[in-house]
């Protein structure tokens, strides 16, 4: 937890309105979500500058999940507190007029004072997109991970099955992970092929640092035949990161959805990324 996610931000102060936003972005040009002390480009700082212009006062935002450098989002949720009064449309259109082309605000809603983008979330969902072809793609080069070796999706899906449920995912967390507990509940982990695209779709109550990329790395090693199907379970039960192979590239990773209690009535949007929305056979 950092200074921008401290306990004082759990409830909006008197005289302030709490606003929630849906945000999507391409992470390729940014050093991750979180504002950096050395002033390098981050999604958070870029969004805050745009919202501050709309509010005509400083705005600090808190997000549902801090994405790494190169990672994208279709369904990021943030909130901020402000004394500025603006219609929902003004927050959306005003922010987008100030933002660069690779960040967009998709919706805005006034929220109860106790809403918190991070702490009130009950589930998060990611998609990891692999372009599986001998030739590297000239398009979507920063939006997908290219794997030139043939990947067996059936083997990958079989290997994923033992990872479902509540487990200690220590073997899938980065060494710098700050989570208090490695125990997470994986609700689904689906692996499907759509032409040259392979999509790893994973939903959990929360994720560890690099957890999805480490899951993807293990499944690709199994799909290529380098490792047996049983290896995913062995890595999980070993609980040691050094046994889990390489961390997959960030470019194919998307935060696609964050879920909250129905009482907050946040807008529903399609599950991205955009270039997959026409795939009728992709599980919703």
Tell me the pLDDT tens digit for each residue of 268-279.
888 999 999 888
- Report the half-sphere exposure of 271 (CA within 13 A, side-chain side): 19
174 and 94 both lie in a single domain: no
Rounded Cα–Cα distance for residues 56 and 49 (Å): 10
The answer to whether residue 145 is domain-embedded is yes
Catalytic site includes residue 68: yes
**Domain CATH for 72:** 3.30.70.580
160 and 73 both lie in a single domain: no
pLDDT at 1 over 70: no
The answer to whether residue 48 is domain-embedded is yes
Between 153-160 and 231-238, two packed helices, what is the crossing angle to 10 degrees?
30
pLDDT at 8 over 60: no
**Domain CATH for 170:** 3.30.70.660
pLDDT grade for 9, boundaries at 50, 70 and 90: low
pLDDT at 5 over 50: no
Contact 199, 276 (CB under 8 A): yes
Q: Which of 120, 145, 169 is the last residue of a domain?
A: 120
Question: Cα 137 to the chain's mean position, in Å?
Answer: 23
Question: Cα 279 to the chain's mean position, in Å?
Answer: 21
The answer to whether residue 24 is domain-embedded is yes
The answer to whether residue 135 is domain-embedded is yes
The answer to whether residue 68 is domain-embedded is yes
**Per-residue pLDDT tens over the stretch 89-99:** 999 999 999 99
- Host domain of residue 180: 123-255
Determine if residue 55 is left, alpha or beta; phi over 0 gives left, psi from -120 to 50 gives alpha, anything else beta. Answer: alpha
Q: Which of 120, 151, 171 is the last residue of a domain?
A: 120
Q: What is the mean pLDDT of the chain?
A: 93
**Per-residue pLDDT tens over the stretch 99-118:** 999 999 999 999 999 999 99
159 and 69 both lie in a single domain: no
Q: Which of 93, 120, 147 is the last residue of a domain?
A: 120
- From 9, 38, 68, 114, active-site residue: 68
Q: Tokens 């999604």 correspond to what residue?
A: 43
**Per-residue pLDDT tens over the stretch 33-86:** 998 877 789 999 999 999 999 999 999 999 999 999 999 999 999 999 999 999
Q: What is the tally of structural domains in the chain?
A: 2
The answer to whether residue 4 is domain-embedded is no
pLDDT at 4 over 70: no
Whether the bond into 110 is cis, omega within 30 of 0: no
SS3 track for 153-177: HHHHHHHHHHHCEEEECHHHCCCCC
157 and 218 both lie in a single domain: yes
Average pLDDT (192-200) is: 96
pLDDT grade for 284, boundaries at 50, 70 and 90: confident
Q: Cite the beta strand spans of 45-92 per DSSP E.
A: 62-63, 72-82
The answer to whether residue 284 is domain-embedded is no
The answer to whether residue 2 is domain-embedded is no
């Amino acid at each position: 937890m950092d200074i921008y996610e401290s306990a004082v931000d759990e409830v909006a102060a008197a005289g302030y309105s709490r606003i929630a936003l849906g945000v999507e972005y391409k992470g390729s040009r940014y050093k991750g979500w979180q504002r950096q002390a050395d002033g390098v480009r981050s999604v958070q700082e870029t969004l805050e500058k745009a919202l501050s212009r709309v509010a005509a006062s400083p705005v600090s935002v808190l997000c549902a999940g801090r994405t790494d450098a190169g990672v994208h989002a279709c369904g990021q949720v943030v909130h901020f507190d402000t004394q500025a009064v603006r219609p929902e449309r003004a927050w959306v259109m005003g922010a987008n007029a100030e933002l660069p082309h690779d960040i967009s605000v998709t919706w805005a809603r006034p929220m109860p004072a106790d809403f918190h983008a991070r702490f009130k979330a009950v589930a998060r969902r990611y998609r990891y997109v692999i372009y599986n072809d001998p030739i590297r793609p000239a398009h979507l080069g920063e939006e997908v991970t290219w794997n030139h070796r043939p990947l067996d999706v059936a083997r990958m899906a079989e290997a994923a099955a033992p990872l479902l449920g509540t487990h200690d995912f220590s073997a899938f967390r980065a060494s710098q992970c700050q989570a208090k507990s490695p125990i997470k509940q994986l609700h689904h982990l689906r692996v499907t092929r759509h032409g040259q695209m392979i999509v790893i779709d994973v939903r959990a109550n929360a994720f560890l640092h690099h957890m999805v990329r480490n899951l993807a790395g293990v499944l690709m090693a199994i799909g290529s035949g380098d490792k047996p199907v049983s290896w995913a379970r062995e890595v999980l039960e070993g609980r040691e990161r050094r046994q889990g192979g390489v961390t997959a590239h960030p470019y194919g990773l998307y935060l696609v959805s964050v879920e909250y209690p129905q009482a907050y009535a946040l807008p529903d949007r399609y599950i991205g990324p955009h270039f997959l929305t026409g795939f009728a056979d992709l599980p919703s």
